[in-house]
Amino acid sequence: MALNVQFIKYLNQMINEEIVVPRLVNQQVLDFNALCEYLADGSTVTAADVAAVMKQIEMRLPLILGLNAKVVCSPEGLTFRPKVSGSITQSQLKARLEAKLAADPTLDIDVNRALTVSDLTIGDLTASIAIELPKKWDERFKSKAEFKRVTKSNITESSETATDPTDGGGGSTTQTGGSGGDSTQTGGNTSSGGDSTSGDGSTSGGGDGDDGLDKG
């Protein structure tokens, strides 16, 4: 199976230039049960054994990460690690102080004071899980990947988007009926991982674009 790629031209307003980028479409889904059967094929364990281990990882990995530990999950270095995010800006601080002052006018609060690091509180933080993929996985994937160009004839991608439409797959760009030809899609023949449209054989983008594309 080849990677189905759609090429999109759109106006990137951040750099004020037209740009052509690829995105993956018509991605298939391998569900959990099918994955367990695939991993068990040719080994001494059953699909049920694989499923049991996967479910244990699913249940216990977040607990280990909650102890502020990185977890290496493969011989080649697949790593899960805890991640923290959160921020506060000067304008957000001012709005917060103004809200406090409005709730209690007797408080002595300078709503225009300078932002300090202590203004970012624990309550502003969000914990999440980051995944580090082994470099060998990328190299192995690139050596196996083949590209097939597909077209979609009756959709015009919006020239108003300032973000890369490849990062959210099929739903990442808006559709418009009258952008005056600011953006187009091209398509046609089949190419492999060495296609000059992708340089090193990799492509950006993803998501579910299974919305009626005609394969070229």
How high is the pLDDT of residue 47? Answer: 97
| Three-state secondary structure of the chain | CCEEEEEEEEEECCCCEEEEEEEECCCCCCCHHHHHHHHHCCCCCCHHHHHHHHHHHHHHHHHHHCCCCCEECCCCCCEEEEEEECCCCHHHHHHHHHHHHHHCCCCCCCCCCCCCHHHCCHHHCEEEEEEECCHHHHHHHHHHCEEEEEECCCCCECCCCCCCCCCCHHHCCCECCCCCCCCCEECCCEEECCCCCCCCCCCCCCCCCCCCCEEC
How high is the pLDDT of residue 46? Answer: 96
Q: If the chain, 216 residues long, is cut into consecutive pieces of 10 residues, what is the mean pLDDT of each piece?
A: 86 90 88 96 95 96 96 95 96 96 94 95 95 94 90 46 45 37 42 41 43 41
Domain-wise residue ranges, the chain: 3-28+45-83+128-215, 87-124
How high is the pLDDT of residue 71? Answer: 96
